[in-house]
Amino acid sequence: MKDSQKRLEIEEDVWSAGRKKTNFNSHEIGHYGDGKIARMSRHNQIPLLIHSTLKWTKNYKTQSNPPPLQQKLSTNLIKAYFDNGLLKQARQLFDEMPNPDVVAWTAMVSGYTACGHYNSAWMMFNDMMRESLDRPNAFTFSSVLKACKGMKSFSCGAVGHGLAFKHGFVGGSIYVDNALLDMYASCCESMERALLVFEHIPVKNQVSWTILITGFTHRDDGLAALQVFRRMFMEESEQSPYSFSIAIRACAGIGSHIYGKQIHALVVKLGFDLNIPVMNSILDMYSKCNSLYEAQECFNEMNEKDDITWNTLIAGYAKPDPMKSLHLFLQMELQGCTPDCFTYSSVITASANLSALTCGQQIHGRIFKNGLEQNLPISNSLIDMYAKSGSIQDSRRIFSEMCSHDMVSWTSMMVAFGSHGYGTEAVELLNQMVNSGIKPDTIVFMAILSACSHAGLVDQGLSYFKLMTTKYKTSPSQEIYACVIDLLARGGRFEDAYDMICSMPFKPDESVWAAFLGACKAHGQPVVTACQELDLKPKGSGIYVTLANMYAAEGKWDDRAKMRTLVDEAGVKKVAGTSWLEVHDQVYSFVAGDGCGSQIEPVYQALRVLGRHMVEQTNVTQVGI
């Protein structure tokens, strides 16, 4: 009990210093001549003792050239302080050093960088260039370039590049070259400069390759990343699990199950299948490529799993099979793994997709118990979950109690309002967001257009569509056009909607026709003749079915038959729309006309109660929202 409390305390401290929770219990801080190793823990007094001993050492502060042992010991201590997130103590010790050498300066730069205090690292480097008598070495430049990467500052990085070149380390140290490569890959819009650096590295190592592949993958250019990965093989560079992990992520990014499987085979061949991070990427890749079966197989075959393994699979199942996701969550705990913010965020999503309010509330309770209620992604998922489970008030409460909002929070709340028919509230929210200085992106516009569409605020929606191109200078995507067409058609403005379909810069795809036809159907509008000339691709079965139903409604049985034939030829099946009802602790899903099975009885019971309530309400007053 006491131990776990202690652990928690350290974790918090380490967390606040922005570090991962490794190496915090004790750390090797140095070796003495006799081979003894000093170990440090923040709960014993050894470091302070050594620190004070240093201070007491004769002439420590006045000597211009302190003995090497003292220099080494101080530097070791500085590193140990940083490793434990004790920035102030590290700084204090450094300031006490009479004549810090290049190694001590570098330890400060890299220490600050490792703790995420990039600005301090950069300042330290500047102080060093001004004050230190030593010349910076390769260690210094690789550290400071990493700090530039952390600051996302191209200009600082360029200064670092110039100085590193001046001191002869560009092309002279693989560490400096790699840090430089990484800095350009992280700070620039394009990979141009990074590629330039890469081609000039005399002997590339696996780190160089990994950085390049990472650069392309993070720019969502999975194909370029895989090309580099391939080239790495052709040039017979040494292999590392890092490059595999990221190349697999690239496959996930482009949704290529085929490439993913090939790399998976390579992983097995080279024996990287014992590497947990690599296997976790493979799991993620399969689930992102809709190959949950393969993902599950990999999961079953893994001898060793970590928390991320569980999180990856739970996240993978959250949408396609939320029930399975929740089961895995329970299993995870039984296996002794601790759920974290990623786990909770996924299971909340799973619960949202089941529209299972009670289940969502229970998980929310657990989140509170674990003190994670202010976690941003979790709060965002909660907004979505409560909205999808029918409790918009709770979504609203979560949103207002959050201490900060990101783009996802605003969008989720807008979607929540929109799906409940609160168009005005969604518009108000968008104004608030813009006033707080956030520039709306495509997703936000889609959310607001949809909200306006569902609330019948046609002109309001159109004004936002206009604003997109005039004020925010974004060219509307295919999806945006689909939203606007939906807005117009639902609002009964079929002519305008049809004109827009004809004049938009895209060839109308299924989503556009689905929006248009759906609205026509809802308004009992006859099928527009032009629809017969549709160039429909045979995958959107919904459109054929919609069309067939519309022809049927008009009594055009020949046309209906044509459509049904198209459906059959394409071999597509319309997925039945299901509804859910939560009765006691059970969620029942059913389709229209679903009458068989004993398990449907509670649903009918609940429906009868609901029906009675509605009748009573209507007798008293008109039903509101």
| 31, 43, 537, 574: which one binds DNA (CB under 7 A) | 31
- Cβ distance to DNA smaller for residue 124 or 449: 124
Shortest reach from residue 167's CB to DNA, in Å: 13
Shortest reach from residue 393's CB to DNA, in Å: 24
Question: Of 239-247, 396-404, 425-433, 564-572, which part binds DNA (CB under 7 A)?
Answer: 239-247
Q: Is 490 helix (H, G, I), strand (E, B) or coil?
A: helix
Based on the shown chain and the rule CB under 7 A, indicate whether residue 555 belongs to the binding site for DNA: no
Task: Using the structure block, give the residue that is written with the tokens 């509670």.
Answer: 602
Based on the shown chain and the rule CB under 7 A, indicate whether residue 76 belongs to the binding site for DNA: yes
| 84, 89, 281, 453: which one binds DNA (CB under 7 A) | 281
- Cβ distance to DNA smaller for residue 25 or 132: 132
Based on the shown chain and the rule CB under 7 A, indicate whether residue 559 belongs to the binding site for DNA: no
What's the DSSP call for residue 135?
Answer: P
Rounded to whole angstroms, the Cα distance separating 99 from 468 reads 59
C-alpha distances in Å from residue 10, one per residue of 17, 579, 581: 11, 48, 46
Which tokens go with 443?
């997703």
- Cβ distance to DNA smaller for residue 242 or 588: 242
Rounded to whole angstroms, the Cα distance separating 316 from 350 reads 10
Q: Is 39 helix (H, G, I), strand (E, B) or coil?
A: strand
**HEC string of 326-394?**
HHHHHHHHHCCCCCCHHHHHHHHHHHHHHCCHHHHHHHHHHHHHCCCCCCHHHHHHHHHHHHHCCCHHH
| 42, 146, 204, 490: which one binds DNA (CB under 7 A) | 146
> Which 297-356 residues touch DNA, going by CB under 7 A?
306-309, 311-312, 315, 318, 340-342, 345-346, 349
Based on the shown chain and the rule CB under 7 A, indicate whether residue 107 belongs to the binding site for DNA: yes
Rounded to whole angstroms, the Cα distance separating 445 from 410 reads 11
Of the candidates 63, 66, 83, 65, which has an alpha carbon nearest to the alpha carbon of residue 21? 83
133 close to 98: Cβ distance less than 8 angstroms: no
- Cβ distance to DNA smaller for residue 344 or 422: 344
Based on the shown chain and the rule CB under 7 A, indicate whether residue 202 belongs to the binding site for DNA: no
326 close to 351: Cβ distance less than 8 angstroms: yes
> Using only C-alpha atoms, what is the Rg of the chain?
31
- Cβ distance to DNA smaller for residue 315 or 383: 315
- Cβ distance to DNA smaller for residue 259 or 481: 259
Based on the shown chain and the rule CB under 7 A, indicate whether residue 291 belongs to the binding site for DNA: no
Based on the shown chain and the rule CB under 7 A, indicate whether residue 110 belongs to the binding site for DNA: yes
Q: Which residues contact 134 (CB under 8 A, 6 or more apart)?
A: 101, 102, 105
Of the candidates 447, 399, 444, which has an alpha carbon nearest to the alpha carbon of residue 419? 447
Task: Using the structure block, give the residue that is written with the tokens 């008109």.
Answer: 622
Rounded to whole angstroms, the Cα distance separating 353 from 343 reads 15
> Which 206-235 residues touch DNA, going by CB under 7 A?
206-207, 210-211, 214
Which tokens go with 261?
């499987």
Shortest reach from residue 296's CB to DNA, in Å: 16
Q: Supply angle C-alpha 13, 21, 275, rounded to 5.
A: 175
| 84, 178, 325, 409: which one binds DNA (CB under 7 A) | 178
Total binding residues toward DNA, as defined by CB under 7 A: 67
Based on the shown chain and the rule CB under 7 A, indicate whether residue 68 belongs to the binding site for DNA: yes
Based on the shown chain and the rule CB under 7 A, indicate whether residue 406 belongs to the binding site for DNA: no
Q: How many CB atoms sit inside 10 A of residue 463's CB? A: 12
Question: Of 168-176, 221-229, 353-361, 528-536, which part binds DNA (CB under 7 A)?
Answer: 168-176
- Cβ distance to DNA smaller for residue 102 or 528: 102
Based on the shown chain and the rule CB under 7 A, indicate whether residue 89 belongs to the binding site for DNA: no
| 140, 153, 325, 389: which one binds DNA (CB under 7 A) | 140
Residues in contact with DNA by the rule CB under 7 A: 31, 68, 71-72, 75-76, 79, 101-104, 106-107, 110, 113-114, 137-140, 142-143, 146, 149, 173-176, 178-179, 182, 205-207, 210-211, 214, 240-243, 245-246, 249, 252, 275-278, 280-281, 284, 306-309, 311-312, 315, 318, 340-342, 345-346, 349, 377
